[in-house]
Amino acid sequence: MTDSVERHAQAELSLKELSFSVNGTRRTVRVHPMERLLDTLRQQLGLTGAKEGCGEGECGSCSVLMDGALVNSCLVPILQAKDADIVTIEGLVADEKLNDIQEAFLQYGGAQCGICTPGMILAASHLLRKKPEPTMEDIREGLSGNLCRCTGYMQIFEAVAEAARRRASGAL
């Protein structure tokens, strides 16, 4: 066997079949167990909403929800996602309509280049589930793991506050 054929055979042997739920649908993939969840979502499952920014757990643009917790998918080996319940930004859209947080981002100019936006919206969604009526400080803290180079943050914080107000008033 040539070296390259042998390497290919070894790589094949190291692949594992793993199943987990993504946006409510059970998915099974054949992957290297240390592949990043971000890559599996984007490359194998075609869910390109999670973005790669830093690739080092610093910027939050790759955020997804895993069993209800906000995680940086660039730091999660796919093995850890086995049997987990993953929600990506695509899972927040119902009937092809924007959800209330997305609407508020649109209204307040919270999305500019868009790289940080999916992660910001997932972080906001996670925050509002834990704290339906957050203070501005809660919002700053809840989104502190997500960096934005474009907006200066205020439009984002105001969009999240607006989504919370609308939920509280039953407007959405």
Q: Is 77 in the site for ligand FES (CB under 6 A)?
A: no
Considering only 23, 40, 72, 102, the residue that binds ligand FES (CB under 6 A) is: 72
| 53 vs 59: CA distance, rounded Å | 6
Q: Is 89 in the site for ligand FES (CB under 6 A)?
A: no
Q: Is 74 in the site for ligand FES (CB under 6 A)?
A: yes
Asked if 108 and 120 count as a contact pair (C-beta separation under 8 A), the reply is no
Encoded one letter per residue, x for contact with ligand FES by CB under 6 A and - for no contact, window 32-71 reads --------------------xxxx-xxxxxx---------
Closest CA to 136 of 153, 122, 149, 118: 153
**Can you tell me whether residue 27 is helix, strand or coil?**
strand
Q: Is 148 in the site for ligand FES (CB under 6 A)?
A: yes
Q: Given the complex with ligand FES, which of 57 and 77 has the nearer CB atom?
A: 57
Asked if 82 and 19 count as a contact pair (C-beta separation under 8 A), the reply is yes
DSSP codes joined into one string, 130-166: H-SS--HHHHHHHTTT---SSS-SHHHHHHHHHHHHH
Q: Given the complex with ligand FES, which of 60 and 142 has the nearer CB atom?
A: 60
Q: Given the complex with ligand FES, which of 74 and 127 has the nearer CB atom?
A: 74
Q: What is the DSSP letter of 15?
A: -
Q: Given the rule CB under 6 A, which residues bind ligand FES?
A: 52-55, 57-62, 72, 74, 111-117, 148-151
